[in-house]
Amino acid sequence: MIRNLWYAVLESRELGKEILGLTRLGERMVFWRDAGGKAVCLYDRCAHRGASLAGGKLCGDTIACPFHALEYDATGRCRRIPANGKNAPVPEGFRMTSYPVHEEFGIIWIWWGEDPPADLQPPLFFDDLKAMKNWKTVVDPWDNHYTKVLENQLDVVHLPFVHHNTIGKGGKTLVEGPGLEWKGDTMFFHYAYNKVDDGSKPRGPREVPVPNPDKDLKLETILPNLWQNHIGPKIRVLGLFVPVDETHTLLYLRFYQDFMLVPGLRQIVNTLASWFNLVVAHQDRRVVNTQIPKGDGIGKGERLIQGDLPIMEFRKKRQELRKASR
């Protein structure tokens, strides 16, 4: 995983009034909401004896360790050691790592790094999703690094084989392009131009139209771990590829739609669409879970082809971000 980046790590609905202990990015983390409802995230370890704070209790804006009741604020600073007396100063070393949190659009991000810049900007999100309020989310566990799970969504070559009876029907095995364009430093979109193999030489990435005003369907990615399937003006699928550790990922799949707003029918549409999204995802998961080596996806031992251009671009940008984070 690359440090000093915003990672989407959970949905707002998962963090209520209780303390929440989770593993994210290979670390034990603890989340809670302060007295004002603002989300807080600390590395989940008491500076005293190493106990998990997730089993503690909230005391206003602080969290108290369940072992010896040391209290920590949102910055990770210990504010009270009961055994030393309520008026005793707390040594400076009693501090745990705190991660900046951003919460918006029903998503909680953390800036996973140390010494965040004073002018830290909020994470990017897809502009065309900001106004959409109707969605349903399903969460699916995968047994591989989050980059391999996300790269599967960049892979236009596998569609007619893995999804031959769902979204890949039609036997369109010849991959033209794919067309790709960067939008800023960490966001790009790409188009799939698959067709039935008629014996012709496929067009290259520079020979297909990008952008394509006649094609609603496009795939958008924001590094490090967001992806959107722009199916049409009123239908989207959002993916949050949440890193648990080096070999486990939680895929949050959100189905957005603005064509059915009648409450009862809306729920039926959202439920059926989410079920179908899981069916498609599980076709992928069966294969992706077998990919080796597990761990950070840098493509060691792989041989890529023209149709893998989005994966190549994703890996190239990750290498640049990794170098910058050092």
Question: Token pair 């593993």 is at which residue?
Answer: 23
315/309 Cα distance (integer angstroms) = 10
pLDDT tens-digit series, residues 186-243 = 999 999 999 999 999 999 999 999 988 877 789 999 999 999 999 988 999 999 999 9
Do 144 and 108 sit in the same domain of this protein? no
- Domain span at 99: 5-112
In a domain, 217, yes or no: yes
Tallying the residues shown for the chain, one arrives at 326
Residue 118 lies in a domain: no
- The answer to whether residues 17 and 166 belong to one domain is no
Rounded Cα distance between 260 and 275, Å, is 17
Residues 209 and 197: beta-carbon distance below 8 Å: no
Domain boundary among 79, 112, 145: 112
33 & 138 share domain: no
Whole-model pTM: value is 0.94
Last residue of a domain, one of 67, 84, 112: 112
Percent of the chain with pLDDT over 90: 89
Q: Are strands 101-104 and 218-222 parallel, antiparallel or unpaired?
A: unpaired
Query: Of the candidates 47, 79, 112, which is a domain's last residue?
Result: 112
Does 229 map to a domain?
yes
Residue 243, Cβ density class (10 Å: 0-12 exposed, 13-18 middle, ≥19 buried): buried
CATH number at residue 147: 3.90.380.10
User: 64: domain CATH number?
Assistant: 2.102.10.10
Model pLDDT, residue 226: 98
Query: Does 283 lie in the same domain as 158?
Result: yes
Q: Which residue has the tokens 């965040």?
A: 116
95 and 170 within one domain: no
**Tell me: the pLDDT tens digits for 52-108?**
999 999 998 999 999 999 999 999 999 999 999 989 999 999 999 999 999 999 999
Q: What share of the chain is helix, strand, coil (3-state, %, to 5)?
A: 20, 35, 45
Cα 205 versus chain centre, distance? 27
Question: Tell me, what amino acid is at 170?
Answer: G
CA distance 74 to 222: 28
With a cut of 80, say whether residue 295 has pLDDT above it. no
CB-CB neighbours of 152 under 10 Å: 23
For strand 174-182 and strand 187-195, is the pairing parallel, antiparallel, or unpaired? antiparallel
Residue-wise pLDDT tens digits, 97-150? 999 999 999 999 999 998 899 999 999 999 999 999 899 999 999 999 999 999
The CB density around residue 207, as the number of other CB atoms within 10 Å, is 12
In a domain, 122, yes or no: no
**Residue 299, pLDDT above cutoff 90:** no
pLDDT value at residue 214: 78
Scan for tokens 């996300």, then name that residue: 150
Peptide bond connecting 100 to the previous residue in cis, omega within 30 degrees of 0: no
Output the pLDDT for position 30.
98
Assess whether 108 and 146 both reside in one domain: no
What total number of domains does the chain contain? 2
Look over the chain and give the mean of its residue pLDDT values, rounded to a whole number. Answer: 94
Residue 299 tokens read as 């493509």
**pLDDT computed for residue 112 by the predictor:** 97
**Whole-number Å distance between alpha carbons of 27 and 228:** 27
